[in-house]
């Protein structure tokens, strides 16, 4: 007998949000109808009746599951993505949030989407992930911080600018190529995935997810000619704080982060492990942009299929 596709499925829901409970219950029932083994993340299981499904930690989900289904908004998927990317387990997102660039399955479409997925009818997509390390002025080096959307440097005080310099790793040897000196409210290093998030609000470009590129976006720069640029993701970005800059922070995906000290350097590189997303077979990136960003529709008859 041929083994079932995605035999063990993990489930992660938006934390402490009872609004996802009904969808969680229906998802678990659908998976059992398809004779899949279901593991619910320990924290998520608190939203379900006690003992209704086997539970597992994030680490166990990564090692035991062939598929993870995330129910919530983009923030829930970003949180799951950071913790699961290194395992290579694919993620399917069910939208129980608001905007939903990453969680693109509607709850009412779960049954049809899962049936098609278990027949092998889906789109598999990889998204690059960032690793950020803080090289302290005293010589210390932090463990890597992971980011799916972006790494942001800014001051904790909302009305204070930050002074910093940016560099790009040389493609010849071990040196650094100086980009610019900046005075701005902050700086965003964004993946293509994050190009429709904070970076877009800051005037950055929309970057197609198939491109291995990073958008470098200054936030409200003091000099109006300090514009966003796009660089290859194969080269490390380095941001060095000024010697008098106190109160700055680094955040990853707007969810985790650390405080920075004067003259600290943040080095951001592409992680060796990409995030794997699964989409319904009718998924279209540009249809998603038209829907979420209210782009223009194709007039009848303008383009033939």
Mind telling me the catalytic residues? Answer: 74
CB 245 within 8 A of CB 137: no
Alpha helices for the chain (secondary structure H): 21-33, 58-64, 74-84, 110-118, 198-201, 285-293
Assign 76 to helix, strand or coil.
helix
Within 13 Å, how many C-alpha atoms sit on residue 281's CB side?
11
Nearest to 199 by CA among 149, 251, 249, 266: 149
Within 13 Å, how many C-alpha atoms sit on residue 229's CB side?
11
Count of helices and strands (H, E) across the chain: 6, 19
Nearest to 197 by CA among 99, 291, 112: 99
Nearest-angstrom CA–CA distance, 285 and 283:
7
Structure-block tokens of residue 20: 């996802």
């Amino acid at each position: 007998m041929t083994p079932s596709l995605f035999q063990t499925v993990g489930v992660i829901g938006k934390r402490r949000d009872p609004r996802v409970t009904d969808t969680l219950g229906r998802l678990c029932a659908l998976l059992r109808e398809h004779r899949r083994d279901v593991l619910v993340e320990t924290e998520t299981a608190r939203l379900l009746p006690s003992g209704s499904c086997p539970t597992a930690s994030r680490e166990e989900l990564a090692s035991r599951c062939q598929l993870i289904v995330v129910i919530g908004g983009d923030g829930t998927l970003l949180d799951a993505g950071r913790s699961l990317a290194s395992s290579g387990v694919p993620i399917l997102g069910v939208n129980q949030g608001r905007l939903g660039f990453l969680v693109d399955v509607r709850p009412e479409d779960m049954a049809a989407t899962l049936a098609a997925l278990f027949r092998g009818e889906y789109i598999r997509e990889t998204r690059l992930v960032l690793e950020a390390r803080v090289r302290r002025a005293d010589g210390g080096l932090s463990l890597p911080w992971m980011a799916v959307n972006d790494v942001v440097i800014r001051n904790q005080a909302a009305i204070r600018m930050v002074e910093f310099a940016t560099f790009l790793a040389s493609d010849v040897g071990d040196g650094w190529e100086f980009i610019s000196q900046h005075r701005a409210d902050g700086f965003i290093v964004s993946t293509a995935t994050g190009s429709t998030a904070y970076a877009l609000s800051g005037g950055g470009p929309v970057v197609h997810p198939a491109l291995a590129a990073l958008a470098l976006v200054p936030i409200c720069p003091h000099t109006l000619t300090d514009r966003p640029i796009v660089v290859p993701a194969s080269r490390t970005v380095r941001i060095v704080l000024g010697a008098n800059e106190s109160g700055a922070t680094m955040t990853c995906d707007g969810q985790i982060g650390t405080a920075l000290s004067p003259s600290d350097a943040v080095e951001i590189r592409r992680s060796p492990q990409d995030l794997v997303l699964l989409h319904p077979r009718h998924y279209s990136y540009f249809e998603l942009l038209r829907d979420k960003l209210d782009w223009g529709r194709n007039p009848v008859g303008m383009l033939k299929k």
